[in-house]
Amino acid sequence: MSYLMMDLLSTTLSEQEKTQLLHPMVGGIILFSRNYHDRAQLCELVASIRAQRPDLLIAVDHEGGRVQRFLDGFSRIPTMGDILPKANGDIEQASLWACELGFLMAVELLSCDIDLSFAPVLDLNRISQVIGTRAFSGQPQEVIRLADAFIQGMSSAGMAAVGKHFPGHGSVAADSHIAQPVDSRSEQEIRQLDMLPFKHLIAQQQLQGIMPAHVIYDSVDPNPAGFSHYWLQEVLRSELQFNGVIFSDDLGMKGAGVVGGYRQRAKAALDAGCDMILVCNDNRGVTELLTDFSWPVCSPKASASLLRADPVQVAKALQDEARWHKAKLLAEQIVMS
């Protein structure tokens, strides 16, 4: 497996990017809104990536609500925190809706040959504004129930699930994109509240990937979770027995800067146990790591190839037009209501 997931500058591949994609340490591409003009262009871009490296994992943040990179030409996926209220608190109805929305999100991306959305969010909607209604609920058991249903929908379309942001970003106010969040609660409180959705869904083997938070839980470890051997190796791997892929969150975020520059961040994330590191919105950072970084010789513990879309399930899902159209109508009703 390769270690680096990089982004792209525009709607087509530059000559520099074509060269970078051939680097053996590049294992994935994450797409953003700047890479999207319309669906036909997106499919052409993905095809050009596949022509360079057919083995690459192609991903996007397409959770729904305010975190949905492709809009025109795609269904508007409701924010996850709206599902239960729009179902008038009926968890059974909300779960049915979540399943169909997971299917809709996945099948529309897979129809463009995109393997993965970094979803679902398993944080709790408590005090974090950057999380907020991106979370299904502020209650762990409701998050578990709705996330489980959403993942079932994704899986039925052939897409793997990546839960984020372990062990939970919802109980700290600062935004790790622009600041260094510090959560000073006890480990016991974190385990009995924020970590519960991760623990449950890992035990049910529902998650193929995990993305840790750029949050320092300073009563537990002085490092952000994504740079913490304790959180990733002792808790996630050994205790919870998670054997899927661990992705770093974007190493360009402010919350990753506590350990130094890109080389220090990459080393810290890989040493802690991340299998694939993300570097987004900074092509100079990607170039630095591909030209001036000593990558580990040993293989990561988990392979990102496990997250490639299942072609058999995808083909079956794409043929189920009736379900697709019903799910589109459901999404529109929830967004507009």
List the binding residues for substrate.
Answer: 61, 69, 134, 164-165
Residue 160 corresponds to which tokens in the numbers above?
């793997």
Q: For residue 289, what is the enclosing H or E element?
A: helix 283-291
Concerning whether 177 is annotated as a catalytic residue, the answer is: yes
Backbone angles phi, psi at 120, to 5 degrees: -95, 165
CA–CA separation, 78 vs 66, rounded Å? 9
The label of the residue with tokens 């970094």 reads 118
In the chain, how many H helices and how many E strands? 12, 10
- Residues in the annotated binding site: 61, 69, 134, 164-165
Check if the beta carbon of residue 211 is closer than 8 Å to that of residue 162.
yes
**One of 177, 282, 310, 320 is an active-site residue; which one?**
177
Query: What Å distances lie between residue 85 and 95, 96, 194, CA to CA?
Result: 12, 14, 21
Concerning whether 62 is annotated as a catalytic residue, the answer is: no
**One of 123, 175, 249, 275 is an active-site residue; which one?**
249
Backbone angles phi, psi at 42, to 5 degrees: -60, -45
Active site residues: 177, 249
